[in-house]
Amino acid sequence: MGLWKWTWASILLRLILIYFPHNLLNLSSRPELSTPLTSLRRLAEGYWLKQSSMSPYAGSMYHGSPILLSLLGPLTVIRIEGLPPQILCSLVFVIADFATAMLIRAIGRNLKVACSRKFNSLNLGKVVDNPDFLPAGDIAALVYLWNPFTIFTCVGSSTSPIENFLILLTLYGACKRLPPLAAFGWVISSHVALYPAILIIPVIFLLGYGPDSPPRKLFLEKNLTKTGDDILLKQSAKPTYFSWKSVVLFVLWASIFASCVLFLCGLYVKEYGGIHEMIQRTYGFMLTVEDLSPNIGVLWYFFAEVFDFFRYFFLIVFHVNILFMLLPLAIRLNHRPCFLAFVYIAISSILKSYPSVGDSALYLGLLSLFVNELADMQFSFFLFSGYVGVSLLSPVMHNLWIWRGTGNANFYFATAMAYACFQIVLVVESVNAILNHDRKIRKLCTTTT
């Protein structure tokens, strides 16, 4: 009951903030919340251009998905007397937040069931039955709903809640081993935001091996236990085998959904340059960092200062840097695909072209799924204080620079650099903590053998 009370309270808080006069909060213009890719204002402008028989990508306002434009665009022009403008879009974002939290909770329950089964097969059921073992799914759902980043992103007229929902839909479908659902979520989220495409690796691990578990090497070692010169085979600890059937079905469904998305987008932009124009205005815009307006990332300042001669070189460096980390992390964390998804999302949030706090809200919610494994994580208070400090300083520095004129771009960029550093420390320490937890499990296995 406590979970649902806090859940409905978080929804009520969002509704109150949505009804609150936007000219007082002015959240939709905050660079921490809305980016050139997630701004609802830009989406409304693109829909107005489309209704005026012009290309939605004319000028430099809209750079999002045609599918998102066709779904949310009509809602932006509906006005209800006595209610704030674009109230229907805000309600969609509230529903998306609630659905995302429920998906996180469901994933947490799947992880707990899988973890309990694996620990029992290793004769370590007492670890899960320990009263100190927290309900991670419920905690993670509440962390996502009550995270100030999530609340302000929902209220700040940003489409990030939709993107977060699609990513969680992908992970949920993979956890439940539902290839059509996982493929649908992955294709749509990759189409809308591009960067979720890297989640194909943890999705394949989830479909093939199932949810997170102790290292698979432990099950092989547990199967063969030496007693003198004899080798006894224990049937209780069966190694997990890779399920190629689910992966093949996922690839087939992903191909079907990708073809449908391309076909629908082609129809939508047929009169305005076709698919080539859409790709150039969306994915090309993301990868070339054309808009250098301030945000909480580090690329805008860097490419505002770098010489044009070196621009493409550093574009390749920043984007390939994400790809370089995928394989080593996949090899080391292949037994924990959900945690691997968290790491991938956090890394892309640091290095993506146009980040927002909505990205942080997503990976912090996923991180809370591992509250038991990360109990001994170091620098927790330091990281918490850092996130709070950056959240408070960023609006102040932006105001000093843009509105008061008593500062400059370095003031705001300093908070962006600090924010990136705290995210890096969070990723490093969380990975270190999860690996230490696996080492503890290995020690417990050796003592019980």
Cα–Cα distance for residue pair 175/210, rounded to 1 Å: 6
Cα–Cα distance for residue pair 56/193, rounded to 1 Å: 17
Cα–Cα distance for residue pair 114/129, rounded to 1 Å: 14
pLDDT at residue 151, as a whole number: 94
* 3-state SS, residue 411: helix
DSSP for residue 402: I
pLDDT at residue 276, as a whole number: 86
- CA neighbor of 100 nearest in space, from 141, 148, 71, 143: 141
DSSP string across 2-35: HHHHHHHHHHHHHHHHHHS-HHHH-GGG-TTT--
Helix ranges (H only) for 376-408 are 380-398
* 3-state SS, residue 130: coil
Q: Indicate the helix (H) or strand (E) that contains 352.
A: none
Axis crossing angle, helix 66-76 with helix 87-121, rounded to the nearest 10: 130
pLDDT at residue 198, as a whole number: 95
Residue type at 232 in one-letter notation: L
pLDDT at residue 386, as a whole number: 94
- CA neighbor of 182 nearest in space, from 341, 60, 28: 341
What's the burial of 171, exposed, middle or buried (CB within 10 Å: 0-12/13-18/19+)?
buried
Q: Indicate the helix (H) or strand (E) that contains 400.
A: none
pLDDT at residue 59, as a whole number: 79
- Residue whose structure tokens are 């839909």: 169
Which distant-in-sequence residues (6+ apart) come within 8 Å of 407 by Cβ?
A: 397, 400, 401
Task: Going from the first residue of the chain to its last (449 residues), give the mean pLDDT of each consecutive group of 10, the final group possibly shorter.
Answer: 87 89 70 91 91 86 90 88 81 95 94 79 62 80 95 91 96 94 96 94 92 67 48 46 89 96 90 85 92 91 88 90 92 92 95 93 94 88 94 91 84 93 95 90 73
pLDDT at residue 81, as a whole number: 76
Q: What is the 3-state secondary structure (H, E, C) of 34-64?
A: CCCCCEHHHHHHHHHHHHCCCCCCCCCCCCC
Residue 436: CB atoms within 10 Å: 14
pLDDT at residue 230, as a whole number: 44
pLDDT at residue 126, as a whole number: 60
Side-chain half-sphere of 196: how many Cα atoms within 13 Å? Answer: 27
DSSP string across 268-334: HTGGGTHHHHHHHHTHHHHHHT------SSSHHHHHHHS-GGGHHHHHHHHHHHHHHHHHHHHHHST
What pTM was estimated for this model as a whole? 0.92
Token representation of residue 10: 């978080």
